[in-house]
Structure 1
Amino acid sequence: MRPSSAAKREQILDAASTLFVQHGFTDTSMEMVAQQAGVSKQTVYSHFGCKDDLFTAAIRCKCDRYNLVDLLVREDGSLRERLLDIGRHFIQLILSEEARCVHRTCVAQVDTQPQAAALFFAAGPQVMIQGFTDMLGREAELGRVVMEQPRHAAIQFLMMVMGEAKLRSELGITPQLSDEEIDRYIVSCVDLFLRGYGYTEGQ
């Protein structure tokens, strides 16, 4: 992809992310994205064939910016260190204003526009779950943990990490948990998870 083409793609993704947060999937048009990005509608379609593709790319781009995919394939450091990094980046992502707004919109429109929720799940949570499942499967094969169902373990960890911080965020409960409180909770989640799956420090 030429530099100018790559730059336009980033412009389009940034514009789309902003509009999907502000207006939701249903009320955001490709024409609106083109206007926001300062490009022609034809340019938007040349990069993303339809609104579904654009929405999916915008969600994946957001995940990429939090380095979650890279963290799932890292091999340096202990498993505990890697899980701490995954937990911290994951909670930052799901508590971000953009992620919260898109999630709220998908839930609010699930009865009338189930397509948006399905796209969101496939582009975000499902990619994260699968990548984490693959990572844990590799750890199990190496004998570092004992788990028969890596996918179950991946979901258990991610749901546990969301915890009270996610619930307070969704319901608008104040005060929100401090960064220090969230980090202490993530450390406890990682240690509980590793004990449950037979991990020994130093492996």
Structure 2
Amino acid sequence: MERSRSSTKRAQILQAAHQLFFENGFQVSMEVIAQQANVSKQTVYSHFKTKDELFRICMEEGCEFLSNAKVVLDPDLPIEEVLYAYSWQFNQMLLQPEVQATYYNAISQTPTYPELGALLVEQGPQRHLNQLIEFLKIHEAKQGYPFPETIHHLATQFLLMCHGQSVYWQWLGVKDHETEAMRQDYARSCVRSFIRSLGVHECRQ
């Protein structure tokens, strides 16, 4: 029973910390986190020795969200169909408030805790890059001749293209006026340009 109560309080603290770090960044105090979690400050410190530790755990959980947000790249479907689904879902994932908060908080603390940036790269961008590289390798082998650029370069280019204006504008706190239809058109445009650069075959309209 005591262990169950302790686990519940720890979950409350983490939930409160996630929200407050998301809203205010690293500067939020442990006292405010305790108030939000409806526990004493002493209880917070009994579970997390320092705010640094609590922040790091919240960041790790945020990175888990990134690593789990995978798009299935089916090599048996038409390449343009798969890449469009990938581009659209990747763009939508980057616009999620949880993802943006994870990036903000990692960047803000990188000078002090560079390992947070490394963790973010490993769990987010690098996982997606590796997934895309494997997919492109299969299609390069299928067509029987090499793509005009290295697979790594191609995957990196496509991944960066998928961000689009909305992602960069929102990361900078600027309201952009792209509609969902406009973002979908952009994703299709990225795929058409990318397919042409590969020389695989003509992309269907």
Query: Bigger CA drift: 158-167 or 138-147?
Result: 138-147
Distance 1:17 1:27 in 2: 11
Aligned match of 2:40: none
Q: Does structure 1 residue 61 correspond to structure 2 residue 45?
A: no
Deviation per CA, 1:106-153: give whole Å up to 9, x if none. 112221221111111111111111111111111111117842411111
Secondary structure of the corresponding residue to residue 143 of structure 2: coil
Q: In the alignment, is the contact (CA less than 8 A) between 1:25 and 1:116 conserved in 2?
A: no
Residues 113 and 28 of structure 1, relative CA distance in 2, 3 Å threshold = farther
Residues 58 and 103 of structure 1, relative CA distance in 2, 3 Å threshold = closer
Aligned match of 1:174: 175
Gaps of 5+ in 1: 1-7
Residues 105 and 154 of structure 1, relative CA distance in 2, 3 Å threshold = same
Distance 2:78 2:19 in 1: 37
Residues 126 and 24 of structure 1, relative CA distance in 2, 3 Å threshold = farther
Question: Which residue type is aligned with residue 196 of structure 2?
Answer: R
RMSD of Structure 2 on Structure 1 (CA): 3.5
Aligned match of 1:114: 114
Structure whose alpha-carbon radius of gyration is higher? 2
Q: Does structure 1 residue 138 correspond to structure 2 residue 142?
A: no
Aligned match of 2:96: 96
Q: Does structure 1 residue 189 correspond to structure 2 residue 193?
A: no
- How many Å apart are 1:71 and its aligned residue? 1.3
Aligned match of 2:152: 151
Distance 1:57 1:144 in 2: 42
Secondary structure of the corresponding residue to residue 77 of structure 1: coil
TM-score normalized with structure 1 length: 0.70
Secondary structure of the corresponding residue to residue 122 of structure 1: helix
Secondary structure of the corresponding residue to residue 193 of structure 2: helix
Query: Bigger CA drift: 185-194 or 144-153?
Result: 144-153
Q: Does structure 1 residue 198 correspond to structure 2 residue 199?
A: yes
How many residue pairs end up in the alignment? 178
Distance 1:19 1:138 in 2: 44
Secondary structure of the corresponding residue to residue 142 of structure 1: helix
- How many Å apart are 1:94 and its aligned residue? 0.7
- How many Å apart are 1:202 and its aligned residue? 7.8
Question: Which residue type is aligned with residue 187 of structure 1?
Answer: R
Q: Does structure 1 residue 164 correspond to structure 2 residue 165?
A: yes
Secondary structure of the corresponding residue to residue 72 of structure 2: helix
TM-score normalized with structure 2 length: 0.70
Q: In the alignment, is the contact (CA less than 8 A) between 2:94 and 2:100 conserved in 1?
A: yes
Deviation per CA, 1:60-100: give whole Å up to 9, x if none. 33442x4x2x413x234210000000001100111111111
Aligned match of 2:4: none
Distance 1:136 1:28 in 2: 46
Secondary structure of the corresponding residue to residue 134 of structure 1: helix
Distance 2:203 2:188 in 1: 17
